Structure 1
Amino acid sequence: MSPPRKRVIFSWCMYDWANSAFATSVLAAILPVYFASLVPEGGVTLRCGPLSLATSASGLWAYGISFSVLLTALCAPVLGALADFSGSKKKFLFGFTYAGAFFTLFLYLVQEGDWSFCLILFVAGNIGFAGSMPFYNAFLPEVAVREEIDWVSGKGYAFGYAGGGLLLALHVLMITYHDVFGIPDKSMSIRICLASVGIWWGLFAVPLFLWVPETRRSHDKPEGFSYLGYGFARFFRTLRCFRKYRDLLWFLVAFLIYNDGIQTVIMMAAIFGKTALGLDMGTLIGTLLMTQLIALPGALVFARLAQRIRAKGAIMVTLVLWVGIVTYAYFLRSALEFWILGGFVGLILGGSQAISRSLYGQLIPKDRAAEFFGFFAISSKFASIFGPLIFGLVTDLSENPRNAIVSLVLFFVVGMILLSRVDMERGRLQASTDTALKWSQPEGVKNLI
């Protein structure tokens, strides 16, 4: 590997290092627990005209996640098509990245009782986080050749767990020993930690924008050309195209379902520990920090496993382990058991995500990477809509989050059944031979692709 290629791969991986701070400290560890402390102990009642819903901190957090990723999921395929056509993946990635970092920085302003203000900032920041991912993922087929795509994808996740874990470790120290850092109280130390995520994210994203090249195309646009109209036309054309890629479609549906379970575990773990087990912030953040540290080598181990038993087999192994994890979570009673659970999650979390991303990259036409990764974003983001939404509803209706966590077994089992129908060799062959496939174009766009 030549030095320039090493720098390109390193710079691409550094974006995982940058934005994983949001995934760990804001989405998973610190903000969920802090948000629960802002909501009145008896919960709140949401009203919309004659309708009302009494909900808890867990429910509010789940609904906030669902709303933010719904908006992103609806926009992702159109934005991905535009990015592919215009060669502007970096522009879209830049916009979502620094919008998300900006709103995250403003979490410093959240004071006691400001649960609604906190939720608005979180939703806006999460839109930036979720919206950036299809454009970041779309660089993967350009950065890595097909033979190393599993390894590079796993390396990116490993960078993410290292970066997110390092900052989270610093946050644990700042919150636990806030007086040593000259911070007067724990609440202010939490707000400083949350704001620092925005700085970290924006700073370490810079190498990608400097050193990762982007394949650009030049097209003559006809008079009256509209990117919006082109984007929606291409969106529906891609929907029709999935009928031609049978194995890609089976994988996408399987991923939608099993990733629903994975994302729900990640996003609801801290608030589950707080509300169901009554664990303190030190235990919750410490467990998630341990999860990050174990996930780093775990991502690399499963990347190597994928090279031995193929990507599909490695994903199957992780799904079997996920079934065991959520079953064990239902019976948790102590902080020690929560620590043990966190260790197992860390072992398989990075592998299941990284291999899924690389497997999808092997099944798509390379010259439409951003467009198809937009659809990958639909599956992953819609997974983040329904899982937390169901978790919140089951928790509110049964008044017991344990009932919500055990329901996730179904997502993993159904995901395994659907994944078993994917023929990887046939899917790879079709992706490579259909790269230059001619699709029917809407009026005024026929000569543009």
Structure 2
Amino acid sequence: MSATDGVIEEKRVSRRGIWGWMLFDWAQQPFHTLIITFVFAPYFASAVAPNAAQGQEMWGLATGVGGLLIALSSPVLGAIADASGPRKPWIAVFAVIGILANTALWFAVPDMQHLWLVMALVSLAVFGMEFAAVFNNAMMPGLVPREELGRLSGSAWGLGYLGGLVSLILVLGFMSASPESGLTILGVEPIFGLDAASREGDRAAGPLTGLWFLVFVIPMFLFTPDQPRREAVAGAVRDGLRQLMNTLKSLPTQRSYFSFLASSMLYRDALNALYAFGGIYAAGVLNWSITQIGLFGILANVTGAAGAWIGGRMDQKFGPKFVVTISILVLSACCLLVISTTRSELLFVSLGSTDSSAPDIAFFIAGGFIGAAGGAIQAASRTLLVDQVPQERVTEAFGLYALSGKATTFIGPFAVAAATAFFSSRLFDLSVEDAQRLGVTPILLLFVLGLVLLPMVQQRVGEG
């Protein structure tokens, strides 16, 4: 069976098994929502690090190291998993790493001295949570017939965004309080006696993320069928590595597969960087509070759920490549809007005042579209990848998918960190705000480069 015209076995697992698999996205999304984007990241930059620009730089290094660890190991472990069969044991191992690392973020107190400890925990959290997703994604082709994969992936991503939304409302409404007023966004005192002055509500996002994942990943382990064991681990290591080497040697000759990995490497890294630095950017450039960033996150998760659901239906009708293309165009426009917006400027045009609400409104609009397009593009990308390989090599493919994404997921944050440090240097004598703004410009370039490579990618559905 070839990588482009093979036929995936038509089968369907029980409804309970499908819902168990979909709940993985619900279980994992709070990590991206609470830790990477809207609560812990801006808290780290504004209260733990010495200043916002340095916080952005350090966050880029921490998430970049986690991405580098995944890039170096995911294709190898994916190939071994394909040879051995079951994926759940791998998910369990990396889930434990992610849960423990997230829970330990509670100890990231304001103005702490040993910041490298927090950075190490963030790197481990990225490593564990993202790796667990690699093996969960690899289970997808065996759940439903190929023509239903787009809708399944979109529905799962939509459910994930709803999970992120619920967890964000829980943190903002009942846990994270303003240090000045001591009250949450709902005007109540934090639950469990969380202290606002020491930012315990923001720090509690770590343990909540770990507990949330632990609870909601259980249905996948109980109800979703796994692949049968094919061979002993020792033999699987040998055969998996051999298959991986054969794949890597032949990859440049597989134009569609190779182009997809390269394109997705670029646009997914741009999206991840946009998520990772969006809250930090809003806190440093627009002077937003955690509450405002949280409202921004609620909007992005609502539109993300809608975008993933709608994108899944568009995927089923027009194919995943169409969804990815439209999403990149929308995300590029939003990125340009974000970069061109400060407290006193909108689309690089001076507002003549720092009191205007126009920058806030523009940022909220951008956040809504980023959520919608981000949900759609991530769901469609899973389907488009499945189109590139036969089913028996799908875990290896998701390993290479993780490699291709993480190859720039560490380069992207490092680029933002380096650009921020470069523009913060005495050479330019820029304000912290301008250094932050110029520091995130590599994100837009990544989107454009990803779009350039996309026309060479083929899909099974929607193309003649």
TM-score (norm 1): 0.87
**How big is the shift at 1:341?**
1.5
SS in structure 1 opposite 2:88?
helix
1:386 to 401, 411, 416: 411
- Greater alpha carbon shift after TM alignment, 347-356 vs 80-89: 80-89
- 1:358-400 deviation digits (Å, cap 9, x = unpaired): 1111221111111111101111222311111111111110131
Residues 1:425 and 1:194: Cα distance change in structure 2 (over 3 Å): closer
2:317 matched residue in structure 1: 308
1:216 aligns with 2:228: yes
Distance 1:179 1:416 in 2: 47
- Which amino acid is the alignment partner of residue 94 of structure 2? F
**How big is the shift at 1:234?**
3.1
SS in structure 1 opposite 2:276?
helix
1:322 aligns with 2:331: yes
Distance 1:86 1:139 in 2: 14
1:267 aligns with 2:292: no
2:379 matched residue in structure 1: 354
**How big is the shift at 1:404?**
3.1
- Which amino acid is the alignment partner of residue 305 of structure 1? M
Distance 2:144 2:258 in 1: 23
1:183 matched residue in structure 2: 193
Residues 1:98 and 1:428: Cα distance change in structure 2 (over 3 Å): farther
1:102 aligns with 2:111: no
Residues 1:387 and 1:375: Cα distance change in structure 2 (over 3 Å): same
- Contact 2:423 2:438 (8 Å CA) reproduced: yes
- Greater alpha carbon shift after TM alignment, 183-192 vs 296-305: 183-192
Gap runs ≥5 in structure 2 = 1-9, 178-183, 343-358, 425-434
**Map 1:223-372 → 2, pairs under 5 A:** 225=234, 228-333=237-342, 334-372=359-397
- Greater alpha carbon shift after TM alignment, 299-308 vs 203-212: 299-308
- Greater alpha carbon shift after TM alignment, 245-254 vs 163-172: 245-254
SS in structure 1 opposite 2:111?
coil
**How big is the shift at 1:182?**
4.7
SS in structure 2 opposite 1:19?
helix
Residues 1:220 and 1:293: Cα distance change in structure 2 (over 3 Å): closer
- Contact 2:308 2:375 (8 Å CA) reproduced: yes
**How big is the shift at 1:39?**
3.9
Distance 1:30 1:312 in 2: 33
- 1:383-420 deviation digits (Å, cap 9, x = unpaired): 31111111111111013122233333322222222111
1:403 to 418, 435, 438: 438
Runs of 4+ in 1 over 6 A off after TM superposition: 426-429
Distance 2:89 2:176 in 1: 36
- Which amino acid is the alignment partner of residue 376 of structure 2? G
- Contact 1:107 1:195 (8 Å CA) reproduced: yes
Distance 2:290 2:125 in 1: 22
- Which amino acid is the alignment partner of residue 406 of structure 1? T
**How big is the shift at 1:6?**
1.2
- 1:165-216 deviation digits (Å, cap 9, x = unpaired): 1011110112133625252522122222321110001110001111111121
1:432 matched residue in structure 2: none
Distance 1:141 1:306 in 2: 15
SS in structure 2 opposite 1:175?
coil
- 1:257-304 deviation digits (Å, cap 9, x = unpaired): 121211110111111111222211111111012100111011111112
Gap runs ≥5 in structure 1 = 44-54, 430-449
- Which amino acid is the alignment partner of residue 265 of structure 2? L
Distance 2:250 2:326 in 1: 30
1:144 aligns with 2:144: yes
SS in structure 1 opposite 2:279?
helix
- Which amino acid is the alignment partner of residue 16 of structure 1? D
Residues 1:38 and 1:245: Cα distance change in structure 2 (over 3 Å): same
- Contact 2:307 2:376 (8 Å CA) reproduced: yes
**How big is the shift at 1:229?**
4.7
2:60 matched residue in structure 1: 62
Residues 1:226 and 1:86: Cα distance change in structure 2 (over 3 Å): closer
Distance 1:331 1:234 in 2: 47
SS in structure 1 opposite 2:96?
helix
How big is the alpha-carbon RMSD for the aligned residues of Structure 1 and Structure 2? 2.4
Distance 2:17 2:61 in 1: 38
SS in structure 2 opposite 1:408?
helix
- Contact 1:363 1:427 (8 Å CA) reproduced: no
Residues 1:274 and 1:426: Cα distance change in structure 2 (over 3 Å): closer
Distance 1:213 1:308 in 2: 28
SS in structure 1 opposite 2:456?
coil
**How big is the shift at 1:136?**
0.8
Residues 1:31 and 1:312: Cα distance change in structure 2 (over 3 Å): same
Residues 1:245 and 1:41: Cα distance change in structure 2 (over 3 Å): same
Distance 2:414 2:325 in 1: 26
- Contact 1:329 1:406 (8 Å CA) reproduced: no
Distance 1:30 1:83 in 2: 34
- 1:152-174 deviation digits (Å, cap 9, x = unpaired): 01011011101111011110112
1:413 matched residue in structure 2: 448
2:208 to 196, 207, 211: 196
2:46 to 37, 53, 77: 37
1:112 matched residue in structure 2: 110
**How big is the shift at 1:3?**
10
- Greater alpha carbon shift after TM alignment, 26-35 vs 409-418: 409-418
Indicate the percent of aligned positions where both proteins have the same amino acid: 26
Residues 1:426 and 1:247: Cα distance change in structure 2 (over 3 Å): farther
Distance 1:252 1:29 in 2: 28
Distance 1:244 1:116 in 2: 43
- Contact 2:27 2:160 (8 Å CA) reproduced: yes
